[in-house]
Structure 1
Amino acid sequence: MYTPLPSAEQLLERERLSYSVMGVKWATLLSFFLIAALCLTIYSHPNPFISLAKLSLFSIPIFVIGALGHIFFSRVSLHQYLDEFLKAYLALFNVAWLLVLVTLARSAVDSYSRTSAISGIESMVDILVLTFAIALFPDRKTMLLMVLPLMVFNVVIHLSEQPLNLVFPIVKFICFTVILYTGQQIFSRWFVQSILRNLENKKLLQQFKRLALVDGLTNLSNRRHFDDILLQEIKVTERNNRPLSLIMLDVDYFKRLNDKAGHQAGDECLSQLGQLLAQSAMRPRDLAARYGGEEFVIVLPETDIAGAAAIAANIKADIAALKLPHPDSENGEFVTVSQGVCQWRNGMSATDFTANADKMLYQAKQAGRDQFVVDEQ
């Protein structure tokens, strides 16, 4: 009746991967924007340190890898090896970016405005580091593997311009690493708490729904749920003109069982009967419910009167096989049930339908119990 919720570990892994995929798609689009902005800057500069054609040529891998990856991750939300695909994509994308950055750095070294060019490259790398740190914060290892090569590149390019100034790039590298590591811990803790809180809310909601729709003793649907489902199935039957049948059954001499063996024995009888009826309503749309007291109902969509009668016969045989003791039954030493079986007809309301099943049940009791009566009309 209810779809089981995933465990906390499964949900955390699923949400981590989902956020990482979403973050990588966002980072990919931002990378396209950075390349476009860089091309526009070079095009508008009177003396660019690299030609637009050369930059466009070395930027092709970013666009090809990025476009293919964006299309793939947009179409594939769940896959057994999605995490591996994500890491492989990031590795390729990182190499593509490093290729562009190395090309820019080499061109800047040969430029008369090398200092400002290298400063601009460092700023762009900082933007990339921040972008991928935000995009991958739930996965610390993947995030660090993505941003550390870029940060090391920044140190190298700064030292190539100012080889005697070791303090600044090293301190910057350490500060960035500490900030990213601690920031990731803080955001990851918030992320985990948010996911776990959401899971707890779903569990509470499912529990409330269960309390509202399930009978606590038998674990079958309760009367309220039965009424709702029956109305829905009648509407479906009216639309598609397919058969719909109903079985109503009652434990024979149940009051005597309670009086003689005690209420605990009566509850145990109802509980085992509930398990048996749940197995009888095996198809996805079949519904077994506790109608009230010792009365039960089974809704059988896509089932004609002959099929419902066969199920009633199976229930009678299965209950006999259970051999539940009954110390004060006129039908023998074991628990038996009476059943009324009917099929929905055009114009019947839900009340008429259940009343007809109850009428058949009454006839079964009048005929001596431990049997089922089928409405042949």
Structure 2
Amino acid sequence: MVFGKIRTLLKAVIDDYILQLARVNFRETPEYHALLVRSTRSALSSAIRWLWLVGVTCSSFILTQREILSLEGMQSNGGPLSEYVHRATLFFLVLLLVFALLSRFHWAKHIGALKNNMLAAGFAFLGCYWGLVIFFMSANQQIIFSMSLYFILIFSSLAALYVSALCLYSFVVPVTLLPLIAKLIYFPPVNVINVLGVFVALFLVETGRRMLSHWFIQAIRQEYTNQTYAAALDEIAHSDPLTRIANRRQFDGRLNKLITLAPLSNTPPTVILIDVDYFKKYNDRYGHLMGDECLVSVTQALTRAVRNAGDLVARYGGEEFVVVLSDVTLERAQDIAVRIKTEINSLAIPHAASDVADHVTISQGIAQWRPGESVEKLLSRADSALYRSKEQGRNRFSVAD
């Protein structure tokens, strides 16, 4: 009952009064969880490097204070316990330095990618080591140094491992309880002040972990929100608002990139310039709202006809569309043009004002890039081929010279 009241008080102090200020209405998605996992792994990799530095610093501190005390006559004979601590600390320090010199910290990234239970096992082993060191130091009448070491380790681990409660307490619990258990076995009884100090330390660790963890999650949520907004703005900047396909800007970027990479490709890029036949008459006859619906239907048909993830369907302007084909032969491009024509005709969108058919049709011009040719020249040849299709009666395609 007492522990329940303490937990309620803890929740009220941390969650309701402090963390409530940072809470926002947030919808968690698989992409958000993936970002959270990546950020947690990255934080654990940094934590491992930080704890390496803490281990080196604390080990050097233990070795240094032993020598200083011996020189000042305050520890003329440390006894076997002091010798055990000295040897174990020296071995641990050498081990840490060897790891750093041989791998240049690349091991931290690989270790940080391990599963949480494996990381927790490693931190538990490390916690047992430091717990025994603290016990031996306190048993050797070095209470001040052992307590200083304990609080350095506890709050260093809090700063490093707050992103994972399992890893944090896998380290904190052995460091905290092992000296008390060993003291109870070898030097009973245990002072009540020591037990109270353990509860105070764990209380501070838990409250600090909850606050840091909430701030960490809030930062990840803000980063995810920023990424979502940036992706949305990028989509708006590179897509046509009516048809939801690529706009002229995205088309220009893709075509320029394909032309730049063309010398490394087996076949150069090809463009198919498409124009809806007599679309102005369609608008005059059926209205602009029906005209917009017609363009959306044409867009869907073009997308179905292409069906290749590496290709791009874009709105070139007004009733004009363009298809960018990568790594296809000119013969294959003509097959795609036939498929596009078939898809459009299968829509059977009525067009009573057309001079070609009683439904909506399209004309196409095909041009394949030539070495040394500019984007403007390529599009000019495709436009000439399109104009030839219109001259020959529309509802057909032509290949540029």
Q: TM-score range by the shorter chain?
A: 0.7 to 0.9
Greater shift, 31-40 or 202-211, is seen at 31-40
1:19-98 matches, within 5 Å, as 19-43=43-67, 45-46=69-70, 47=76, 48-49=78-79, 50=81, 52=83, 55-57=86-88, 60=91, 67=99, 72-75=107-110, 78=113, 82-98=115-131
Q: Of the candidates 29, 32, 45, which is equivalent to residue 8 of structure 1?
A: 32
Q: Of the candidates 343, 346, 364, which is equivalent to residue 318 of structure 1?
A: 343
Residue type at the aligned position of 1:127:
I
Could you state the TM-score of these two structures normalised by the residue count of structure 2? Answer: 0.78
| Post-superposition CA distance 1:4-34 (Å, at most 9, x none) | x953333233323321232133213321332
Q: CA RMSD in A?
A: 3.2
Greater shift, 294-303 or 353-362, is seen at 294-303
Is this contact kept in 1: 2:45–2:111, CA < 8 A? no
1:165-314 matches, within 5 Å, as 165-166=191-192, 168-237=193-262, 242-314=267-339
Alignment CA distance shift 1:203-1:305 (3 Å): same
**Percent identity, aligned pairs only?**
29
Deviation at 1:94, TM superposition (A): 2.4
Determine if the alignment matches structure 1 residue 343 to structure 2 residue 368. Answer: yes
Uncovered stretches (5+) of structure 1, i.e. residues with no partner: none
Uncovered stretches (5+) of structure 2, i.e. residues with no partner: 1-28, 71-75
Deviation at 1:54, TM superposition (A): 6.4
Greater shift, 62-71 or 8-17, is seen at 62-71
| Post-superposition CA distance 1:159-188 (Å, at most 9, x none) | 77794741x223322222222222222222
| Post-superposition CA distance 1:33-92 (Å, at most 9, x none) | 3223323433554333445576435775787699499654423665xx633332232233
Give the structure 1 partner of residue 392 of structure 2: 367
Is this contact kept in 2: 1:24–1:132, CA < 8 A? no
> Whole-Å Cα distance in 2 between the matches of residues 24 and 43 of structure 1?
29
Alignment CA distance shift 1:354-1:265 (3 Å): same
Deviation at 1:350, TM superposition (A): 1.4
> Whole-Å Cα distance in 2 between the matches of residues 89 and 269 of structure 1?
64
Residue type at the aligned position of 2:311:
D
> Whole-Å Cα distance in 1 between the matches of residues 57 and 301 of structure 2?
63
Alignment CA distance shift 1:9-1:301 (3 Å): closer
Is this contact kept in 2: 1:58–1:99, CA < 8 A? no
Greater shift, 170-179 or 281-290, is seen at 281-290
Deviation at 1:293, TM superposition (A): 0.8
> Whole-Å Cα distance in 2 between the matches of residues 210 and 262 of structure 1?
29
Give the structure 1 partner of residue 22 of structure 2: none
Is this contact kept in 1: 2:85–2:133, CA < 8 A? no
> Whole-Å Cα distance in 2 between the matches of residues 316 and 63 of structure 1?
74
Alignment CA distance shift 1:82-1:58 (3 Å): same
> Whole-Å Cα distance in 2 between the matches of residues 128 and 223 of structure 1?
59
Does the residue aligned with 2:35 lie in a helix, a strand or coil? helix
Could you state the TM-score of these two structures normalised by the residue count of structure 1? Answer: 0.83
| Post-superposition CA distance 1:317-355 (Å, at most 9, x none) | 222333334343333333221100011223422111111
Deviation at 1:203, TM superposition (A): 1.3
Alignment CA distance shift 1:131-1:164 (3 Å): closer
Alignment CA distance shift 1:71-1:233 (3 Å): closer
Is this contact kept in 2: 1:55–1:100, CA < 8 A? no
1:128-139 matches, within 5 Å, as 128-139=153-164
> Whole-Å Cα distance in 1 between the matches of residues 313 and 116 of structure 2?
42
Give the total of aligned pairs: 361
> Whole-Å Cα distance in 2 between the matches of residues 336 and 322 of structure 1?
9
Does the residue aligned with 1:291 lie in a helix, a strand or coil? strand
> Whole-Å Cα distance in 2 between the matches of residues 154 and 342 of structure 1?
80
1:149-168 matches, within 5 Å, as 149-155=174-180, 163=189, 165-166=191-192, 168=193
Determine if the alignment matches structure 1 residue 353 to structure 2 residue 378. Answer: yes
Is this contact kept in 2: 1:125–1:154, CA < 8 A? no
Residue type at the aligned position of 1:129:
I
Does the residue aligned with 2:358 lie in a helix, a strand or coil? strand
Does the residue aligned with 1:329 lie in a helix, a strand or coil? coil
Give the structure 2 partner of residue 127 of structure 1: 152
Does the residue aligned with 2:59 lie in a helix, a strand or coil? helix
